[in-house]
C-alpha cells in the first residue's frame, strides 16, 4: 500500500499570475515518425526532407503542430502536475514558428483567469496562457488552456 501523500492544488489555492514552467523535452525524429503513423498525417512537411527544402523556407522537416501541442500538454511541470485537474475544457494554439527534430521545448503555463464553477461547488474554471519556446528562447506556440480544477479532495 502506498502511504505517500501527494500534494494537491485545489481551485482555492490558485492565484492569477502564477507561472508553472516545465522541464525541457527534446522533440525527436522518432516522435515525428510515430505521430505521423498515429495521426495519419504524412504531409511532406513532416516526412520528406528534399520536398521541404525545394518547396518551403524551412531549414528541414518540421514537427507536427499538434505533436508539439500534445507534448506541451503533457510536459512534466512542477506545481502544475499537482493541480486537481478534473477536465480539459478547451485548448487553443497558434503555431508561431517551426519546431525541428532535435529542438528542446519548454512550456510556461500562467494562470490568467479564475472563476468558480456554476455547476460544481468548490470547483473552478481556470484559464492558463500557454507559451511554448525552444532552446533558443523562440516562441513556437502560444495559446490558452481552460481546465476544470477541483477542490483537492476525491469526489
SS3 81: helix
Tell me: pLDDT of 1 over 70.
Answer: no
Q: Locate the domains of the chain by residue range.
A: 11-149
pLDDT in tens, 113-134: 999 999 999 899 999 999 999 9
Which H/E stretch holds residue 68?
Answer: helix 65-74
Question: Cα separation of 134 and 95, whole Å?
Answer: 13
Q: How far is CA 144 from the centre of its chain?
A: 9
pLDDT in tens, 45-90: 999 999 999 999 999 999 999 999 999 999 999 999 999 999 999 9
Which position has the grid cell 507559451?
A: 131
What pLDDT is recorded for position 6?
64
Which H/E stretch holds residue 30?
Answer: helix 29-39
C-alpha cell at 108: 510556461
145 DSSP assignment: E
9 DSSP assignment: B
DSSP codes joined into one string, 123-147: -EEEEEEEEEE-TTS-EEEEEEEEE
Tell me: pLDDT of 91 over 90.
Answer: yes
C-alpha cell at 17: 499570475
What pLDDT is recorded for position 4?
54
* Structure confidence at residue 152 as a pLDDT band (50, 70, 90): confident
Which residues contact residue 6 at a Cβ distance below 8 angstroms, ignoring those fewer than 6 apart? 82
Domain 11-149: give its CATH code. Answer: 3.10.129.10
Amino acid at each position: 500500500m502506498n502511504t505517500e501523500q501527494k500534494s494537491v492544488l485545489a481551485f482555492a489555492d490558485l492565484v492569477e499570475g502564477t507561472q508553472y514552467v516545465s522541464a525541457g523535452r527534446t522533440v525527436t525524429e522518432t516522435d515525428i515518425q510515430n505521430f505521423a503513423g498515429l495521426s495519419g498525417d504524412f504531409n511532406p512537411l513532416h516526412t520528406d526532407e528534399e520536398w521541404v527544402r525545394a518547396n518551403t523556407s524551412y531549414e528541414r522537416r518540421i514537427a507536427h503542430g499538434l505533436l508539439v501541442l500534445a507534448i506541451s500538454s503533457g510536459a512534466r511541470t512542477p506545481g502544475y502536475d499537482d493541480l486537481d485537474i478534473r477536465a480539459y475544457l478547451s485548448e487553443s494554439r497558434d503555431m508561431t514558428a517551426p519546431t525541428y527534430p532535435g529542438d528542446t521545448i519548454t512550456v510556461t503555463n500562467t494562470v490568467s483567469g479564475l472563476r468558480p464553477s456554476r455547476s460544481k461547488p468548490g470547483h473552478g474554471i481556470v484559464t492558463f496562457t500557454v507559451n511554448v519556446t525552444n532552446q533558443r528562447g523562440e516562441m513556437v506556440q502560444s495559446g490558452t488552456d481552460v481546465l476544470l480544477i477541483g477542490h483537492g479532495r476525491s469526489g
